[in-house]
């Protein structure tokens, strides 16, 4: 399972620097504020993504993608539960896959890649109609892609500009 420690908090913070999302490192063993799932899972409160070094990278990317996909009014009251509907949740999962591509370009593509992210998502227990994150992404995620395009978060070249939904 890829963790925040492996890429470093600075790389993660830099990834979201222009989005209004601030990455906050929580001390080892401390409860993560705003964590929906508890334990080492990332947390969201307003414009802050809380992580520990043992936070799974997929969790940090998922919560950050929630932030990016929600409208400004929801961001202002965000505390733990990102909410949203099924279509947005699918878009969040799709976006987190695209975000790992950015990390791979900045770090080690041999370690940080879609294959490992898909494996981590499956191991955590994400559920998809086709039984795996990879199968969903490759053959059943067109609706998620269209959602991201509709909100200006994805262009026709599949590059995900890091901007927030408006």
What is the full per-residue pLDDT of the chain (166 aa) written as tens digits?
999 999 999 999 999 999 999 999 999 999 999 999 889 999 999 999 999 999 999 999 999 999 999 999 999 999 998 888 999 999 999 999 999 999 998 888 888 999 999 999 999 887 777 789 999 999 999 999 999 989 888 876 665 555 555 5
CA-angle at 117, arms to 144 and 143, nearest 5°: 5
Phi, psi of 48 (to 5 degrees): -125, 135
The model's pTM is: 0.92
Tokens in use for 61?
A: 């990317």
The length of the chain is 166
Tokens in use for 125?
A: 């227990």
| pLDDT in the model for residue 16 | 94
Q: Say how far apart CA 111 and CA 1 lie, in whole Å.
A: 10
| pLDDT in the model for residue 45 | 97
Locate tokens 């520990």: which residue? 52
- Domain ranges in the chain? 4-77, 86-150
The SS3 assignment for 110 reads coil
| pLDDT in the model for residue 3 | 96
């Amino acid at each position: 399972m890829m963790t925040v420690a492996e890429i470093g908090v600075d790389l993660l913070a830099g990834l979201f620097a222009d989005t209004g999302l601030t990455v906050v490192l929580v001390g080892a063993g401390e409860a993560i504020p705003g964590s929906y799932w508890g334990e080492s899972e990332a947390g969201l409160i307003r414009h802050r993504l809380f992580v520990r070094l043992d936070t799974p990278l997929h969790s940090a990317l998922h919560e950050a993608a929630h932030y990016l996909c929600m409208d400004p009014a929801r961001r202002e009251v965000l505390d733990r539960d990102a909410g949203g509907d099924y279509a947005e949740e699918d878009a969040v999962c799709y976006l987190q896959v695209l975000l790992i591509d950015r990390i791979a370009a900045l770090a080690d593509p041999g370690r940080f890649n879609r294959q490992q992210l898909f494996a981590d998502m499956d191991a955590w227990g994400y559920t998809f109609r086709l039984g795996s994150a990879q199968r969903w992404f490759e053959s059943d995620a067109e609706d998620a892609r269209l959602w991201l395009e509709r909100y200006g978060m994805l262009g026709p070249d599949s590059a995900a500009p890091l901007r927030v939904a408006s």
